[in-house]
Amino acid sequence: MMTEQEIREHLRRIAYPGSQRDIVSLGLVGDIVTRANEVIVHLRPSSASDEVLRHLAGRIVSLLSAVPGIGQVTVHRGRAQGTGVQPAPVAPPPQQPLPGVQCVVAVASGKGGVGKSTVAVNLSLALKALDNRVGLLDADIYGPSIPLMMGIEATPRAGQDRKIYPVEKYGVSLISMGFFLDDKSPVIWRGPIVMSIVRQFLRDVLWGELDYLVVDLPPGTGDAALTLAQEIPLNGGIVVTTPQDVALLDVKRGIAMFRQVNVPILGVIENMSYYVCPNCGEREDLFGHGGAGKTGLEILGEIPLVEDVRKGGDTGKPLVVQHPDHPIAQIFRQIALRVIEKTALRQ
């Protein structure tokens, strides 16, 4: 197990929001208690708002949980008590459910480019194919790609009182950050701006009655993803990964992010998991296999690397609608069924 000093050194990588200085040098980190592989970090009383404290707690949990040898991480506000009375953990706020929306499922990934948006799109369409009313929220502020993948050129209609109607495509209602950004938007969105955009997004969109809202979170487990996971009332989280062994650490970060905001994890989807030779039909494990299984979470599905999946995304005709009989469309429907089963159990 690491020493308190080593843990403190790790925490120096966390900057205080809006400042160049880190939380250790600012004196925000108080006692650090370690028990077996569990770490409890106490934040000193400060003038930081609840919002900032929650944000920092999230950063601490995701950073430390990814350190080998550290298991459970908890953040408390105030000093470690000798009296046996533990201060309450810094918990995320109770969120208002979205009116008319039964179940919100977020898709996250520890790093970019693993096929998160592809999964979010095809999962939404598979849920739709199973007779659900489905919405898709493209919350990736850094690279909103879902309108392209869904072949959408229209922009949303404004209703009364500054409300926004989602755009419909293939029977799914879509809202994307991309609808509201133009080329002049700053590439690096600052945390508070992200938060206010998301709040507006969530409250002003007239989703109507939905059984499922699928959310494509920004890649990684940095501020943007964590903020969104805190801001949206999520019923379940899915982590998308690739099969390489090195991806395991990224998956752990994704898991830690959902745990920090108390979102039950439905499971992991291993994308580009294997390759099926188009000539001989033989399955090849290009990148090794089974990495995602080491997380101890359910593998909701393994999706092979297939040209038709990429083409579907590039042409705006996702595989699940373009080729509903394709074996991969079936895999997506199986994943959707499992998501339905697991979220139904939780409600």
Ligand X SMILES: Nc1ncnc2c1ncn2[C@@H]1O[C@H](COP(=O)(O)OP(=O)(O)OP(=O)(O)O)[C@@H](O)[C@H]1O
Binding site for ligand X (CB under 6 A): 109, 112-118, 140, 143, 145, 219, 271-272, 303, 305-306, 309-310, 313
Binding-site size for Mg ion (CB under 5 A) equals: 3
Of residues 59 and 116, the one with the C-beta less far from Mg ion:
116
Of residues 117 and 227, the one with the C-beta less far from Mg ion:
117
Q: Residue 340: CB partners within 8 Å, gap ≥ 6?
A: 127, 130, 132
Minimal distance in Å, beta carbon 62 to Mg ion? 19
Tokens 């939404």 belong to which residue? Answer: 124
Find the helix packing angle between 223-231 and 50-65, rounded to 10°. 120
Out of Mg ion, ligand X, none, which partner does residue 101 contact, by CB within 5 to 8 A per kind?
Answer: none
Minimal distance in Å, beta carbon 66 to Mg ion? 21
Q: Which of the stretches 35-43, 113-121, 185-193, 326-334 binds Mg ion when contact is defined by CB under 5 A?
A: 113-121
Minimal distance in Å, beta carbon 269 to ligand X? 10
CA angle, 287 as apex, 286 and 289 as ends, to 5°? 105
Of residues 32 and 213, the one with the C-beta less far from ligand X:
213
Minimal distance in Å, beta carbon 145 to Mg ion? 5
Is residue 141 within 8 Å of residue 282, measured between CB atoms?
no
Minimal distance in Å, beta carbon 78 to ligand X? 38
Whole-angstrom distance, CA of residue 132 vs CA of residue 130: 6
Q: Whose CB is nearest to ligand X?
A: 112
What phi and psi, each to the nearest 5 degrees, are found at residue 280?
-100, -10
Under DSSP, the state recorded for 22 is B
Of residues 53 and 181, the one with the C-beta less far from Mg ion:
181
CA dihedral over 47, 49, 50, 52, signed as positive or negative: negative
Out of ligand X, Mg ion, none, which partner does residue 310 contact, by CB within 5 to 8 A per kind?
Answer: ligand X
Out of Mg ion, ligand X, none, which partner does residue 108 contact, by CB within 5 to 8 A per kind?
Answer: none
Out of ligand X, Mg ion, none, which partner does residue 118 contact, by CB within 5 to 8 A per kind?
Answer: ligand X
Minimal distance in Å, beta carbon 109 to Mg ion? 8
Q: Does 117 bind Mg ion (CB under 5 A)?
A: yes
Is residue 94 within 8 Å of residue 230, measured between CB atoms?
no
Out of ligand X, Mg ion, none, which partner does residue 309 contact, by CB within 5 to 8 A per kind?
Answer: ligand X
Is residue 67 within 8 Å of residue 2, measured between CB atoms?
yes
Of residues 219 and 243, the one with the C-beta less far from ligand X:
219
Is residue 1 within 8 Å of residue 33, measured between CB atoms?
no
Of residues 30 and 112, the one with the C-beta less far from ligand X:
112
Q: Dump strand ranges (E) for 14-121.
A: 29-35, 38-43, 73-77, 101-109
Q: Residue 122: CB partners within 8 Å, gap ≥ 6?
A: 309, 312, 318, 319, 320, 329, 332
Is residue 166 within 8 Å of residue 205, measured between CB atoms?
yes
Out of Mg ion, ligand X, none, which partner does residue 303 contact, by CB within 5 to 8 A per kind?
Answer: ligand X
- The contact set with Mg ion (CB under 5 A) reads 116-117, 145
